[in-house]
A and B are shown apart, each in its own frame.
Chain A
Amino acid sequence: GAGVSQSPSNKVTEKGKDVELRCDPISGHTALYWYRQSLGQGLEFLIYFQGNSAPDKSGLPSDRFSAERTGGSVSTLTIQRTQQEDSAVYLCASSLARRGEQFFGPGTRLTVL
């Protein structure tokens, strides 16, 4: 069956440009999470969606980061005016609401030059 997919798999951009990262969760999964993982580090929580609403945006590092989810499915993470410190792997995960183990996508590796 289809798992969580993310696109693009790799993105190289210049400092100051905007980027959009996409996540397609597993069909029927109501919860969707975005994380950031810097090289050799653990996961940094960014934002959580339940359906289309985001009850927890506490992890977004600055107002340059925003995310939306439409139709209870696809989510887009947007980073405006990218900085070099934004370079990381951005992971998306989805889960069913109850027990809640997360199923992760392969990630998008973002490099800001």
Chain B
Amino acid sequence: AQKITQTQPGMFVQEKEAVTLDCTYDTSDPSYGLFWYKQPSSGEMIFLIYQGSYDQQNATEGRYSLNFQKARKSANLVISASQLGDSAMYFCAMREGIITGNQFYFGTGTSLTVIP
């Protein structure tokens, strides 16, 4: 089974609107971390937001928030007030065993296009 599943290969959003990028994960480890990364056309991978499995609150970082539904094993990224510069690939990732874990698992990514 896939560790990280991103079912939306491509998404479009109107500038200034909000968009949700889906991510589901699969683990039996009670201790894990979830991450979102942005990869613009320049190729750099930019860390956006982190959610720990024991965190009670949904993570927020500026216009980014993570809709963490632990029972459903989903960690959707919400981008509010989309900007043209948000157009990029977005990758969801998981690290199992926050303290002892090593390997990161990445999803296949979602390509987001912001329409002016």
Contacts and interface: CB of A to CB of B under 8 A. Distances in A.
Interface string B66-108: 0000000000000000000000000100010011011111111
Given A43-B91, A91-B45, A93-B45, A102 B107 contact: no
B35 interface: yes
A98 B108 contact: no
Instruction: List 6 tightest A-B contacts by C-beta distance, closest first.
Output: A104-B45, A43-B106, A42-B108, A48-B102, A101-B47, A56-B102
Interface of B: 33, 35, 37, 43-47, 50, 52, 91, 95, 98-99, 101-109
Interface in A72-113: 89, 91, 93, 97-104, 106-107
B49 to A, nearest CB: 9
A98 B95 CA distance: 11
A65 interface: no
A103 B47 contact: yes
A64 B95 CA distance: 27
A89 B43 contact: yes
A55 B102 contact: yes
B104 A102 contact: yes
Contact of A42 (B47, B50, B52, B107): B107
Interface residues of A, number: 26
A42 B91 CA distance: 8
B50 A99 contact: yes
Nearest to A101: B47
Given A42-B91, A99-B52, A103-B47, A56 B103 contact: yes
A91 B50 CA distance: 20
B98 A107 contact: no
Nearest to A48: B102
Nearest to B43: A107
Contacts of A43: 91, 106
A102 B43 contact: no
A99 B102 contact: no
A70 interface: no
A62 interface: no
B81 to A, nearest CB: 24
